[in-house]
Amino acid sequence: MEHTVHLSKSTTSRRSFLRRGLAVGGAGAISAGLFANGLPAFAEVESGGLTPGDAAILRFLSALEILETDLWQQYNELGGIQDSEVPGGTGSAAYTKALKVLDGDMDQYIHDNTEDEFTHFTFINAYLMSKGADPVNLDKFRTLPSSKATGAQDIGRLTNLMQLTVDTSYWTKYRSRTKNPDFGDTFPPAVPGLLKGQFPAIPRDNNDLSPADHIQAIANTAGFHFAFIEQGGTSLYPSLAQRVIHPEVLRILLSIGPTETQHFQTWQDKAGNAPALTDPTNGLVFPDLNASGGEDTQTNLIMPEPTIFLSRKFPVVSIIRPTATEGAAMGAVKALTDDGLFIGQSDEFFAFLRKLAKQADAARHGG
Ligand SMILES: [Fe+2]
Ligand SMILES: [Fe+2]
């Protein structure tokens, strides 16, 4: 962090702009041309950097990717594959087995999703630094407890996976042919019980490993939570992309965003395999989705239904939803907060996250 503070302070220096500009691939040639034309080097080299709005959007996305990485790491330690690509933890056999009821490859997918998130924030931070902008570091907020179950590391966390209130309305949102959240529409949850309490998505300790329907309910909760998280990213990237200015920043958002969509669709398919059951310890019900909601929850309908977009005067179209850009960053913070992910976090954490979101939402609105 010291290093980054130094960088940000140095942005007023003409020399440092020049130095950084020359260090970035491609910028050297531009600078040479400038001198040949006798143009003021300061302004031109500065233009190779980021606008405040682009930097704010990238910084907010970096923060969210760090938070995503933190939660995925917890899933990987207990239910994924712990290896040199995604180190940490030693796995929980009972939890991993329950997750595999949803798909025999769940551990591989958890591992790969975790690695993807790590690369998302690492890349965005490196890109920010290459442009002389501050990267994001949330280390001082790693204060939440780890699971006490065998297999998890005992380290400070950013996110809480043990008191989740998972909104599964993404399921019916993508099934509707007549509604769109961008029109103010709301959608019923596929698993109503998950909205009526706080439930663990990882075993909190070894007592959570039995009875069988309890650890399966925890694995089911995780399965629906995976899709909840990734459908959020699926909307966030296109929502924010509409307000970036530099084509390269747009390219970053357009290239990372759809990987969230790949994750989402995989996870929705797996969540559809979560067995119907009632958790004997808390009464949480996972319904038979093929019996309860008609086509809206039919488990093999995982591709988006066409729906209204932009205006009702247009024909329906198969799209990501929502993608409205106004307030998109703050909306993401609210959704994750409502999810229970940040239960136990400090006021300072919420203030910091809201500040990043506010700055991102102000981009290109006079900011
Ligand atoms: Fe991501
Ligand atoms: Fe993601």
Mind listing the pLDDT tens digit for each residue in 148-193? Answer: 999 999 999 999 999 999 999 999 999 999 999 999 999 999 999 9
CA of 207 to the centre of ligand 1 (A): 32
CA of 345 to the centre of ligand 2 (A): 21
CA of 265 to the centre of ligand 1 (A): 14
Rounded to the nearest integer, the mean pLDDT of the chain is: 89
Q: What is the pTM of this model?
A: 0.87
CA of 360 to the centre of ligand 1 (A): 17
* Confidence at 364, pLDDT banded by 50, 70, 90: confident
For 244, residues 6+ apart whose C-beta sits below 8 A from its C-beta are 53, 54, 57, 250, 253, 363, 364
Taking the CA of 336 as reference, the closest ligand is: 2
What kind and span of H or E run contains 278?
strand 277-278
CA of 234 to the centre of ligand 1 (A): 9
CA of 30 to the centre of ligand 2 (A): 36
CA of 234 to the centre of ligand 2 (A): 8
State whether residue 192 is helix, strand or coil.
Answer: helix
CA of 157 to the centre of ligand 2 (A): 17
Taking the CA of 264 as reference, the closest ligand is: 2
Q: Are 233 and 67 in contact (CB under 8 A)?
A: no
CA of 281 to the centre of ligand 1 (A): 33
Taking the CA of 237 as reference, the closest ligand is: 1
Residue 132 above 70 pLDDT?
Answer: yes
Which tens digits make up the pLDDT trace of 193-252? 999 999 999 999 999 999 999 999 999 999 999 999 999 999 999 999 999 999 999 999
CA of 117 to the centre of ligand 2 (A): 6
* Confidence at 27, pLDDT banded by 50, 70, 90: very low
Taking the CA of 65 as reference, the closest ligand is: 1
CA of 189 to the centre of ligand 1 (A): 24
CA of 114 to the centre of ligand 1 (A): 9
Which tens digits make up the pLDDT trace of 254-298? 999 999 999 999 999 999 999 999 999 999 999 999 997 688 999
**Which burial class, exposed, middle or buried, applies to 201 when counting CB atoms under 10 A from its CB (0-12, 13-18, 19+)?**
buried
Which tens digits make up the pLDDT trace of 330-362? 999 999 999 999 999 999 999 999 999 999 999
Residue 322 above 90 pLDDT?
Answer: yes
Taking the CA of 253 as reference, the closest ligand is: 1
CA of 127 to the centre of ligand 2 (A): 19
Residue 46 above 50 pLDDT?
Answer: no
CA of 117 to the centre of ligand 1 (A): 4
Distance between CA atoms of residues 355 and 305, nearest Å? 36
CA R_g for the chain = 22
Which tens digits make up the pLDDT trace of 257-267? 999 999 999 99
CA of 226 to the centre of ligand 1 (A): 12
CA of 100 to the centre of ligand 1 (A): 23
Taking the CA of 66 as reference, the closest ligand is: 1
Distance between CA atoms of residues 274 and 96, nearest Å? 14
